[in-house]
Structure 1
Amino acid sequence: MSLYEIFRLLKRKWVLLLLVPLVLSVSTYFFARQLPQTYSSDTTIYTGIASGYSLTGNAAADYNTTNNAFDNLINLITSRTTKEEVIYSLLAKHLWETSQQPSLLASPTYEGLRESLPARLRQQLTGPTQEATLEKVRAYAQTNNSNPVQRLLNSANPTYSLAALKDLSASRVGSSDLVRLYFDSHDPDLARTTLSLVTQVFLNQSRNLREGQTSSVIKYYEEELKRAKDRLDKAEAENLAFNRENNIINFESQSNNVAMQKESLAGQLTEMNQQYAGAQAALSAVNRKLGGRQASLMSSAQMIEQRRKLSRLSASIADQELFGQNDPNKTKQLKAEADQAAQAIQNNVDLLAVQSSSVEGIPNKDLLGEWVQNMVLVESNKAKLEVMNRRRQEFEREYQRMAPLGATLKRIGREIELAEKAYLSVLASLNASKATQQNTALTANLKIVDPPNLPSQPKSNKLMMMVLLSGLGGFVFVAGTIVGLGLLDKSLKNPSEAMRQIGLPVAGMTLDSHAPATKQLQAAQQRSLDQLVRHILLKANTSPVPPPFVVGIFSVQRQEGKTTLCQGLSQRCHEMGVQTLALYPDTDGANPGTDAPSLFYPSEAAAVQGWQLDQLIQHATPKRMSEISSPDVQVVLVEFPALREEALPVGLLRQLNLVFLTVPATRAWRHTDHQTVEQLRSATSAPVEVVLSGVSQHHGEEAMA
């Protein structure tokens, strides 16, 4: 649909386009003229979100974060929880004020309180202070969802309901740190009081919300810190108990010391073995020189006891000198006792000497002295070897004991290290969370820049704006409906649309016969018939076929205007002096209502017998004519039965010179209609043209303009 067609469509409905907006405007003025006046109060709050100061310096100017923070604040202001708390506070305030001054109940501000809550309930909800009254109101409202306070909260009360706070709004002032709150009410003092309570409740909720965001995090980190500390203490206690149980002061130093002592002992043991072997060799050599006489010396009880004493003393001296147990006084004493033992042995040898010389001629006293020295050296080295071997065994046992201690200490050390790292990590997170909490507490203190004001003048009720908007809305709605219905209308409407949808030339049209009969309509109908008659006469005069010129009038279905067309064409041709004969199928049985010659033919017999024109006329029944002379007839108009409902006289189809297909302008052209017309075109050689019937007057005027 083009813009011109839309304009013409709206022009035809100008009455509706004018009447509906006018009615809506008048109705809006009538019903809205008595609306109560409203008073608006506003307040401004400084947030410091975008450019405030925190513990870490100036706040970071992040666009998305800033917008998100402002959205959170605005949504918190207009949330249901905030509104409910404001209503509780307002109700508690009024209950407390009226309990102190009962005369206030007569004022319009407290009218809703007087009507909504009975006196007994008001007395029950009133406490000794306003804060106590608020607690009672809040507790009573939360008992169930059907108590009077809850019903009042969800009612349409203009003071104590959620609906009364629908005009509460908040917005950011430009790109600043300021948020402005607005509230409209029917009472100026109520507007200021309510907005003050909104500000107070909002500031408290914002502070609690922002400070409480990190409380759960801090609690979590405190519990984790306690667990990490317990784990660290457990690991350190295990390390302490292990060191105490195994006598470990410094494992690394102790293990190194044991290793060094063992290596030193191994060297000393090797050296001592060499000395012991040398002493034994020297003693054996002396024994050979003595020729076995030393055996008698060795077998004496006194000698055996002195050797044992010397051996014990030598072992004690070795312990003192070799293994760090050197007590100078004790060592000196032990050496003196050893010297005494050796001297006693020497004295005993001197007393027991019975010969003056050895077998080699060496004096016995000299050999026995040498034997005593070597025997003392052997006993001393032997004692030292026993001590050193015993010490070596102790080192072996110490090695076997300390070897697994190192692995255990490393495992305990790893446990302590991991526990310490976990403890320090949790401690750092806890400190960061506490810093964030402190920073939030610092920045959560919103400041009221402009307190709620008391409005002195009511707001404009915008009555004229409402009237204009209702009229404009009505116009847009009607225009949209008209255009929408026009776009959805798939009917043929006018000749140009019929030609586009059907695909056949349009010879003409007939106007809607059911429209009110006006002179303008009759003139337009006359012009459309004249146009069709001229079209037929032009075809008849230019046709090479001798008269009569046969025109077949068809329709796809019944009641589509073909009879009206045939009657109008025959009447108009008769008036113009054209010899015309109209043939109607007798199934209709209707009076043609014209002065032109008319015949009714049996359509079923014509279809069965395949009659041609002459046979059809012979078997037809004359109506309103005394005589028919075929040679004088110039135009024959033949109305055929509906294409889809009855059989057609095929013999007559071959004699047609022109086919008029009547199609109602009020219906859409379907695919089945197209198939039916194609069958008709294949059955006759005459050109098929469309006559659009029932065209509305405005479409007809457009087509003939």
Structure 2
Amino acid sequence: MNISAFLRLLKQHLIWFVVLPAITGTVAWYTTRNEAKVYKSQATLYTGLSSGYSLMTDKGGLMSDQSSSAFDNMLTTLYSKETMTNVSVSLLTDHLRLQQPDSLVLGGPGFLMLQQAVPMDVRMQLPIEGDRDTLWMAIDNMAKSTGDNAIKNLLLKSDSYYSLGQLTEKIKATSRKATNDVLLMEYETDDPGVAQNTVRYAIKFLNDRYSTLKTTETNSVVGYYEGKLQKAKEKLDQAEAALKAFNVQHGVLDFDEEARNVASSRESMVNEYNQELMRRNAAQAALDALDKRTGQQSTVRAATNDLTNKQKKLSEAENQLANARAYGQPKSVINRLQATVNQAAEELKISAQKYDAVTSTSDAVPQQTIANDRLAKMLEYEESSARLETYRERMGEYQAKTDNYTPLGSQLRQLQRQLSVSEKEYLDLLQNVDMSQTRRQDVKIGGTMTILDAPDYPLLPQPTKRWQLVAIGIGVGIFLAMLLMALRFWLDKRINSPEQAESMIGMPVTALFPTVKKPNVFSNATLTTRSMFEQLFNAINIEIAQVTAKPYPPIITLFSIPPKQGKTWIADGLNTLYAAADQQVAYCYPRVTGKEKREFKNGVTYFPYTIRPDFMNVTNLDYLIDHEAGFEASQYDRIVFELPNLLNNQIPVYLLKNSALSLLIVDANTKWSRAEKQLLTLYERVTNQPILLILNNVVGNHIDVTVLSDEKRASSRSARSLQPHRNDL
């Protein structure tokens, strides 16, 4: 829907937009005629949640901004049932103690209402003449009792000043704006004293309950952390005692240093052992080479055996000497063993000389030289073997010590880890205890809000909202009118506009005719109708001019799907234009009463025909029209053929094949449903010819044509438009 269609729709339903807002506005004005005066008391509180300085301010960098949550908690505390009950009980306590109305506490109407709500027998049960705190406790007990009583009904079921529902609804605490720390509180009622005291008690109990809530919360947190800290201290003491017992048991001053020394000594011993092993292998290889140089004579075998025995003796003596030195034997033992070694060495030397004397080399090397070399290598080999044995024993001792240190190291690391974890846990809990204690002290110091502006006593009532309610009522009326208009538009299946016609039927609108209530009166509707007939006349002539395969004279078929769409009226208008253009026109139309006869009127010959049972098989107009009517098609320039409605009659399939074009007449108030669409589709398949869509009975504001300002200009325009047709045809 475009804007012009929407404006036309508004114009059609203009009466709704006048009547409905007037009714709703009048109702709002009448219902607010006795509107009570309303007094509002306001107060401003400074919370200091975000910008205030406290014990936690210096630690603000370590904490996130939780002022928004604190504001929400504060408002929740204010609107809690317990806070509202305390406010209500305090107001009721003050009012019951009054002997007469007091404008600063309770006005006259409220005093009378309270006298009626709390009868004398209930007052006799309350210590009204006693202390205020005693009366407050008595009223509070009655309000919280399980049974039904007047006080409880006044607080829970009435709409008085003491109703919890009324207090919760009317006490308004505006939330913070941006990041400020100011809380605005206000309360509206019909008594200025009640308004002021309600805000005052709301602030008092909000401060008390919020401070108590935060203090209780911090106490539980501090107690929790202190208990955890005590357990962590005991765990830390146990870890330190276990580590101390381990060091005492194993005699370890510094386990890590001693482990490193053992590992270093063992590694050095392994290196020396490998070096000594290489030297012994080298001596063995030299001995093997010298043995190859000596002959295999039997004469030297004895010398060789003797030499071997002396070597074994020398080797045993050196082993004993090396062991004695390694194990720290007394010096006398070492000297004795040294003398034995020296003696064995001299004996070996003599045996070697004997061996050298009886042997000689084949390459002219003196036997003595070979013997000396062999002796030297043999001595080197035996000494190296003795040292290797000692290295093996020492390496075994280091290995045993390493095997002993390995499980001790694992135990020590476990004890140290336990000590580290216990110490870290203890320090963290110590920090949490410190922070929670600081927080508790901070709540004690700054847990209450500061009153910047105390609740004021309203001297003047609030401006009336009557005219606002009237404006709202008018707005509601406009909304209802819009809603009804939209519902009618959506539920209405009629063709109300050219746009809807083109969308629903599926073809462009060639001409649209307004509703003409007074055809003989000069008006925009009559001028628009004349203009539309001229446009339709031109469109028909253009289509006929393009048709060459149809017989002469051209047949213009008018049809409609439902009945009473205005076909006859459209045909009369076309006949008038053709007659004015000196065209011989035959108008064929279906009989209605059965008494219609051929007649000639206003230059048009009228031929009625009867709808026959075999209407669909008629092939020519000559067979359709009665013979005595004397119909001869060649005598006419145009034949206007009106079909009966297709919804209740047959389609003349063969007759329509001779038609030059068809005019589909649709009333704007007609419902276009699935049946109409199917019949139009069948008609299009049968004719296969141009079809012009004509929309009839259109509301005047849907017609977008230029209306001439006077009848003279319209008449001259009509004359100029008809003259070319007269000449051409």
Q: TM-score range by the shorter chain?
A: 0.5 to 0.7
Q: Tell me the equivalent position of 2:50.
A: 50
Alignment partners' CA distance in 1, 2:477 and 2:598: 49
Aligned counterparts, 1:200-349, within 5 A: 200-235=204-239, 252=253
Q: How many residues are treated as equivalent by the alignment? A: 569
Check whether the contact 1:40–1:191 (CA below 8 A) recurs between aligned residues: yes
1:94 to 92, 95, 112: 92
Aligned to 1:611, the other structure's residue is in SS state coil
8 A Cα contact 2:511 2:532, kept in partner: yes
* 1:620-643 CA distance string (max 9 Å, x none): 9x8xxxx87766666544332444
Q: TM-score, normalised by structure 2?
A: 0.63
Summarize the Cα distance change of 1:668–1:462 in structure 2 as closer, same or farther, 3 Å threshold.
same
Q: Do structure 1's residue 190 and structure 2's residue 191 form an aligned pair? A: no
SS of the equivalent of 2:434 reads: helix
Match of 1:465 in 2: 468
SS in 2 for 1:89: helix
Q: Look up the equivalent residue of 1:108 and give its one-letter code.
A: P
Q: Does the Cα contact within 8 Å between 2:100 and 2:111 map onto a contact in 1?
A: no
Q: How far apart, CA to CA, are the structure 2 residues paired with 1:551 and 1:51?
A: 90
In structure 2, the CA distance between the partners of 1:614 and 1:189, relative to structure 1 (3 Å rule), is same
Between the aligned partners of 1:484 and 1:700, the Cα distance in structure 2 is 24
SS in 1 for 2:467: helix
Percent identity reads: 21
Aligned residue in 2 for 1:684: 687
1:363 maps to which residue? none
Paired letter, 1:455: P
Contact 2:571 2:640 in 1 (8 A): no
Give the aligned partner of residue 166 of structure 2.
164
Q: Which stretches in structure 1 are left out of the alignment for 5+ residues?
A: 258-265, 280-398
The structure-2 alpha-carbon separation of the partners of 1:456 and 1:581, relative to structure 1 and needing over 3 Å to count, comes to: same
Listed one character per residue, the Cα deviations across residues 316-370 of structure 1 (whole Å, up to 9, x for unaligned) are xxxxxxxxxxxxxxxxxxxxxxxxxxxxxxxxxxxxxxxxxxxxxxxxxxxxxxx
- Counterpart amino acid of 2:659? L
Assess, with a 3 A threshold, how the Cα gap between structure 1 residues 198 and 569 changes in structure 2: closer, same or farther: same
In the alignment, the residues of structure 2 paired with residue 414 and residue 4 of structure 1 have an alpha-carbon distance, to the nearest angstrom, of 86
Note closer, same or farther for the CA distance 1:169–1:72 as it changes in structure 2 (3 Å cut): same
On the 8 A contact 2:41/2:456 being kept in 1, the answer is yes
1:607 pairs with 2:608: no
- For 1:26, the aligned partner's letter is T
| Conserved 8 A contact 1:524-1:701 | no
1:14 aligned to 2:5?
A: no
1:663 and 2:662 aligned: no
Q: 1:364-403 counterparts in 2 under 5 A? A: none
Cα pair distance change 1:477/1:593, threshold 3 Å: farther
- CA change 1:690–1:403 in 2 (3 A) is closer
Change (3 A) 1:605 1:432: same
Moved more, 563-572 or 158-167: 563-572
For residues 184 and 656 of structure 1, the distance between their equivalents in structure 2, rounded to whole angstroms, comes to: 83
Q: Deviations over 1:481-536 (max 9, x none)?
A: 647866887754334653466454534334458xxx56799966655665566567
Matches within 5 A, 1:53-68: 53-57=53-57, 65=65, 68=68
SS of match in other structure, 2:658: coil
* CA–CA distance in structure 2, aligned partners of residues 62 and 239 of structure 1: 36
* Comparing 32-41 and 517-526, the one that deviates more: 517-526
Measured on the aligned residues, the alpha-carbon RMSD in Å equals: 5.3
Deviation for aligned residue 1:428: 1.8
Residue of structure 2 equivalent to 1:493: 496
Moved more, 214-223 or 539-548: 539-548
* Change in 2 beyond 3 A, CA 1:175/1:641: same
The CA deviation at 1:225 is 1.8
Q: Distance in 1 between matches of 2:334 and 2:62?
A: 92
- Equivalent position to 1:478, from 472, 478, 481: 481
CA distance in 2, matches of 1:58, 1:590: 109
Partner of residue 696 from structure 2, selected from 693, 697, 701: 693
d(CA) in 2 for partners of 1:520 and 1:62? 94
Instruction: Specify the SS of the correspondent of 2:433.
Output: helix
Letter of the 1:10 counterpart: L
Q: Is the 8 A contact 1:578 1:634 kept in 2?
A: yes
With over 3 angstroms needed to count, the CA separation of the structure-2 counterparts of 1:275 and 1:133, relative to structure 1, is: farther
Indicate the SS of the match to 1:43.
strand
Query: Cα deviations across residues 276-301 of structure 1 (Å, max 9, x unaligned)?
Result: 9999xxxxxxxxxxxxxxxxxxxxxx
Amino acid at match of 1:85: T
Q: Cα–Cα, structure 1 residues 78 and 7, in superposed 2: closer, same or farther, change >3 Å?
A: farther
Cα pair distance change 1:555/1:62, threshold 3 Å: farther
Q: CA deviation at 1:469?
A: 3.8
Secondary structure at the aligned position of 1:252 is classed as coil
Question: Quick one: which amino acid aligns to residue 83 of structure 2?
Answer: E
User: 1:649 offset after TM fit, Å?
Assistant: 1.4
Deviation at 1:189, TM superposition (A): 0.3
